[in-house]
């Protein structure tokens, strides 16, 4: 399943600064695995302290969240509030 992925600026190092990439995965976890294969080191960064937004919805526990073909996924830094 082709998915459009948007990366916040702090996550773009492994992609050479590219903000938007395409990858594949039936779930967010599989998507991260594919991104790590394409851009070594990105997987660890995506599994540590980022929020995942899929088609405009913030996903609380994204690892097994299914992805539809053509989904748009944003990986953004988590923010603390109080």
Domains of the chain: 2-77 (3.10.20.30)
pLDDT of residue 82: 64
Written as tens digits, the pLDDT of the chain (82 aa) is 799 999 999 999 999 999 999 999 999 999 999 999 999 999 999 998 899 999 999 999 999 999 999 999 999 998 877 6
Please check whether residue 51 is in contact with residue 58, taking contact to mean a CB–CB distance below 8 angstroms. yes
Contacts of 68 (CB under 8 A, 6+ apart): 1, 55
pLDDT of residue 64: 97
Instruction: Please state the pTM of the whole predicted model.
Output: 0.93
pLDDT of residue 47: 92
């Amino acid at each position: 399943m082709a998915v459009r992925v948007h990366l916040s600026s702090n996550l773009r190092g492994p992609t050479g600064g590219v903000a938007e990439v395409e990858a594949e995965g039936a779930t967010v976890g599989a998507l991260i695995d594919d991104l790590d294969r394409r851009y070594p080191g990105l997987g660890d960064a995506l599994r540590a302290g980022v929020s995942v937004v899929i088609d405009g919805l913030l996903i609380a526990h994204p690892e097994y969240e299914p992805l539809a073909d053509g989904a748009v996924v944003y990986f953004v830094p988590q923010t603390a509030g109080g």
